Copies of this chain bind each other. A is one copy, B any other.
């Protein structure tokens, strides 16, 4: 059992918020701080940390990850700029038990696609569609306390086909004004780590200020949290003796 408080590390490439006027207006301190403030409010006792691309090792040192229960990942403009050694390090921590929440355009990050084994491609349109996020699994803890549907007034459209492995659980399915649908909240397990992908959240719309979106992310952080911070990546064992 983790006896310390839940520690969430929010990773953001932090590019759009430093150069795009519209994004700066919505997220003057960066999306990571908006999300972090929400988690602090919604998860009493949570320990929120942040890390960004420009930091040494992107802020994802062995020490930082070892102290993390759940990692959030937001990337878009610079997936390729993330060092392969850091990607591999994050992957090992997930396999060893660290929770991972991948947000929106993080679907195309090296971290996510290397854990899935697919392209994670989809179809998209950034034209202010209304997104309705429907709960498909009403007793899932990630859906606790949110209306059905969550209404997001304006958002980038992410549509099927979404090239992911069949998820273990589909928590949410979204529709868009243009008629598209999307598996917008899905879970996976890799090794000992729990993974949740949640698609709402483009940089051009104030989606992370939406209280229901914040609630989902907070629920997911709790859900993805490992029962222990000890990391045990599965490994080959043999020759083993028969059970006697």
* Residues of A near any B CB (own CB < 8 A): 95, 97, 108, 114-119, 121-127, 129-130, 132, 134-139, 141, 144, 148-149, 151, 157, 159-163, 165-166, 168-170, 173-181, 183, 188-194, 226-227, 233-243
Contacts and interface: CB of A to CB of B under 8 A. Distances in A.
A154 B178 CA distance: 16
A138 to B, nearest CB: 6
B240 A123 contact: yes
A214 to B, nearest CB: 18
A162 B137 CA distance: 9
Contact of A132 (B95, B157, B165, B179): B179
Contacts of A194: 139
Contacts of A165: 165, 188-190
Nearest to A123: B237
B183 A240 contact: no
A234 B161 contact: yes
A108 B226 CA distance: 26
Given A119-B95, A174-B181, A183-B136, A238 B163 contact: no
12 contacts: A123-B237, A123-B238, A125-B238, A126-B239, A134-B160, A151-B243, A166-B169, A174-B181, A177-B242, A178-B242, A179-B243, A180-B242
